[in-house]
Structure formats: structure tokens, C-alpha cells
Structure 1
Amino acid sequence: MQKITIAIDGFSSTGKSTIAKRLASALGYIYVDTGAMYRAVTLFAINEDFIGENEDIPGLLRCLNQIQLKFVPNKELDRSEMYLNGENVEAEIRTMKVSEQVSKIATIAEVRELLVDMQQKMGKEKGLVMDGRDIGTVVFPDAELKIFMTASPDARATRRYKELLERGEEVTYEEVLKNVQERDRIDSTREVSPLKKAEDAIEFDNSDMGLEEQFERIHNLAQRVIDSKE
């Protein structure tokens, strides 16, 4: 069976990673969460005081060659987790502290160049589902299936708020909504690889959809494309 590349782009908190993970598992494909990669670089920048109160982006750029990223399978959880310089940082990169800074880090051309190169190397053999902001437009412009996920800011903020509460973070809904809206603004207006729908991508608004309905629809889309390649 011929394998394809599946690119899933879209706004923050649209459930891209959840769907992409499940789709990859169902198809027997590799899953790559590019958002986790940008979050890991952001965590590095925060820990090294390159971003925050005393911002030092030139300092971060000088240290990019010190950043090693790796997805390591966790058999107990049936998923891969992000390791930064040999340390499991999966929980740390999902915090509001990182969410508040990640879009700023993702606007830096040198960071995007580094991570896009890593991502393209991961996808050379196809059989891959990758989600992010510029997968269908920059990383894999020739992907056989491109999906652009969207939902209303309120729906996305509600989902994100529930996730953070379940992790034990003390946040308000208003804080989360503001973060979602600000990330939308930064992601859509940045000069380097702004978030936008590829011309040949299928737009998928999941504002009023449950997870099962989303998965079934996208899985059927993927299967039709795969079958057409036989």
C-alpha cells in the first residue's frame, strides 16, 4: 500500500494534535507534533532567560546549536513525548507559561529554519501525519492531503481552559481566551511563514463537533486519498 504525507494546519486549540495522533495510529503512520518542537525551544529560551523580563533574542540565536529535540515513545501511554537535550519536558511545554511565549519564538526566522529542516528530514519516507501552522504551505507543500482546522475563539478557549484545569493550573477563562486571541493575531501576521490555509487544503471547522465525529470524517478523507493512489 502506497503511503502519503498528511499535513494538518490550523489555529491554536483546534485539537490538531489529538486528531493527528489518532489518525496516525489508525493508519500505522508516524506522528510529528511540530507545536511541541516550538514549545520545547520556547521552554529552553525561558529557562535560559532569553525571553521574559530580560529578553535576549540574539543570545538565543547564538545557542540554537545547543538545542537537541527528540520524540521518544512512551509505551505505557501509547504516545511519543518531547525530550529537550535528553530531558522529558512533555508536561512543562504544555503550561500557560510556555503558551504565552511560544508564538513570539515561532516568529523568529532562524528558529523556523532550524525546525523546518528537522521536520522535512522526518518526512522523507512519507507515511507521516504532521500538524502545525505551516506544514501544508512550507514544510510539505506537496503533501497529498492537507487539512486546515479552525473553530471559534470561544470554543477553542473553552477546550483549552478545561485542559489546563485538569492539569491543575490556576487560570481563568478570560486569561485563556485572551491568550488564544493573541496567538491568533501573532501567528496570522508574522512575517515568516504566517498561519494561512494552503490553496489546496480542506477547511475543517470543528466548533460544534465532538471528537468522534471529527476523527471519522478526517479518517475517511485520508482513506479516500490513500485508496486513490493504489
Structure 2
Amino acid sequence: MKKITIAIDGFSSCGKSTMAKDLARSVGYIYVDTGAMYRAVTLYAMRHNMFNTDGTVKVDDLEKAMADIHISFELNGKTGRNDTFLNGEDVEDDIRSMAVAGHVSPIAAVPFVRKAMVVQQQAMGTKKGIVMDGRDIGTTVFPEAELKIFVTASPMVRAERRYAELKGKGLKVNFNDILKNVEERDYIDTHREVSPLRKADDAIELDNSNMTIEEQREWLLEKFRLATNQHE
């Protein structure tokens, strides 16, 4: 069966990564979490004091440091997940914090950061057989992807999911803070100048507000089967 490229885009906390990981595992494709790449750059910037007091990015400092920011993914033998590495350090847990979530959208809106990440992402997908999720995969990174999915859900539902996820990790979180973060990220992601979040013209939209993970899995597998049959 001919391998294809699968692009899954959508809003924050709508389950894109879970869907993409599950699909990749089910069909034997490689999974790349592009959101983790931007989070890793954000973590680097936070550790190196590259944010102003108002939350804006010290772009000159970050631009000088971009050549020293190396991101990779490695399989964790204990958990079976693909962990994110920043300059050789496993930062998978660090990049999932609310602190990083609150700073990632301004980083992702910086043109030279997006350019650097897109180059890395396109290099990862040259051999097909890849599932990649993010904000601009179907529109910018892989506009020729054979299967494009655009995932959405209401801000309230997404905040509830994020709250449950963080509580499950034993973190002390406030629901209203999470909802505010979700809404702020939506605005920044859809209004940024470079590669704003939008549904590609040929993407299939999925509103999973009221769907179970199993229902999403079956829906996505069906779309995968149809796409691979069309591109035999």
C-alpha cells in the first residue's frame, strides 16, 4: 500500500496529538508532534530570560540563539512514548507545564522561529508515511498532504479536558485560568501574521466536542482508508 502524508491541524487542547499518535501507531506511520517543537523553543527562551515583563519575546536574543536550539524525538523505552529532547535533554514533562503553555503562542508567532521549525518538519516528512499535527501542517508545512484533518471543539470542552489532564498529573490548577489560556491561545493562533491557524480548503473538519476517543479513532481510521485507496 502506498504511504501518504497525514496533516492534522486544529485548536489547542482538542486532542490532535492523541488522535495523531494513535493513528500513527495503528497504521505503522511515524508521528511528529510539532507543538512539542514550539514548546521546546519556548522552554529554552524561558530558561534564558528571553521574555519581557509584559510577556513579549526578546526577539533579537532569541534569533541569535536559534542556531543553538536543537530538537529531536526519541522513543522512551519505559513509557513507549516519543519524548521531546532539547539539546540532548529529555524535556517532555517540562514542556507540558502551564507556564510553558502560557508563553508558547507568542514564540510560535515569531516568523524566524516558524521558518526554522517548518524546515525541520518538512525534512522529517520527505519519505511519506508520517502523521504530523500542529497549527499549519496542512496549509504551510505539507500543503500537498493526501489527508488533511482540521479538529475543533468548544473552548469550554477543551478547557475541561486540559484541566482533567493536569489534575490527573497531580498538578494544582485553576479551571478559569485554563479557560482563559485556551481562549488567548485561540486568538493569537488565528491572528498571527505568519501561518495563522486556519482550515485548509481541502481539509476534513472534525468537531469532537461530544465524541469519545474510540469514536474519534474509528472516524479517523475510516478517513485514512479512504485516502489511501484514492492514492493507490
TM-score of the two chains, using structure 2 as the length reference: 0.97
Q: Deviations over 1:152-209 (max 9, x none)?
A: 0000000000111112222111000000000000000000000000000000000000
Residues in 2 aligned to 1:38 and 1:135: alpha-carbon distance in whole angstroms: 13
- 2:210 corresponds to which residue? 208
Residues in 2 aligned to 1:224 and 1:127: alpha-carbon distance in whole angstroms: 15
Q: Deviations over 1:114-157 (max 9, x none)?
A: 00000000000000000000000000000000000000000000
Residues in 1 aligned to 2:25 and 2:46: alpha-carbon distance in whole angstroms: 33
Residues in 2 aligned to 1:33 and 1:58: alpha-carbon distance in whole angstroms: 26
- 2:30 corresponds to which residue? 30
Residues in 2 aligned to 1:135 and 1:155: alpha-carbon distance in whole angstroms: 23
Q: Helix, strand or coil: the match of 1:51?
A: coil
Q: Helix, strand or coil: the match of 1:142?
A: coil
Residues in 2 aligned to 1:15 and 1:75: alpha-carbon distance in whole angstroms: 24
What amino acid sits opposite 2:200 in the alignment?
A
Residues in 1 aligned to 2:158 and 2:196: alpha-carbon distance in whole angstroms: 20
- 2:192 corresponds to which residue? 190
Q: Is residue 2:214 matched to residue 1:218?
A: no
Q: Is residue 2:129 matched to residue 1:127?
A: yes
- 1:151 corresponds to which residue? 153
Residues in 2 aligned to 1:141 and 1:80: alpha-carbon distance in whole angstroms: 25
Q: Deviations over 1:4-32 (max 9, x none)?
A: 00000000000000000000011100000
**Further displaced range: 206-215 or 54-63:** 54-63
Q: Helix, strand or coil: the match of 2:183?
A: helix
Residues in 1 aligned to 2:66 and 2:20: alpha-carbon distance in whole angstroms: 28
Gaps of 5+ in 1: none
- Measured after TM superposition, the shift of residue 75 of structure 1 is 2.5
- 1:48 corresponds to which residue? 48
- 1:15 corresponds to which residue? 15
Residues in 2 aligned to 1:35 and 1:224: alpha-carbon distance in whole angstroms: 27
Identity of aligned residues (%): 55
RMSD of Structure 2 on Structure 1 (CA): 1.0
- 1:160 corresponds to which residue? 162
- Measured after TM superposition, the shift of residue 52 of structure 1 is 4.8
Q: Is residue 2:179 matched to residue 1:181?
A: no
Q: Would you say the 8 A contact 1:20–1:131 is kept in 2?
A: yes
Residues in 2 aligned to 1:19 and 1:31: alpha-carbon distance in whole angstroms: 10
Q: Would you say the 8 A contact 1:43–1:93 is kept in 2?
A: yes
- Measured after TM superposition, the shift of residue 226 of structure 1 is 0.8
- Measured after TM superposition, the shift of residue 78 of structure 1 is 1.7
Q: Deviations over 1:68-121 (max 9, x none)?
A: 100001132222100000000000000000000000000000000000000000
Residues in 1 aligned to 2:34 and 2:108: alpha-carbon distance in whole angstroms: 11
Q: Helix, strand or coil: the match of 1:31?
A: strand
Equivalent residue pairs, number? 230
- 2:94 corresponds to which residue? 92
Residues in 1 aligned to 2:95 and 2:102: alpha-carbon distance in whole angstroms: 11
Q: Is residue 2:79 matched to residue 1:77?
A: yes
What amino acid sits opposite 2:180 in the alignment?
K
Residues in 1 aligned to 2:188 and 2:129: alpha-carbon distance in whole angstroms: 31
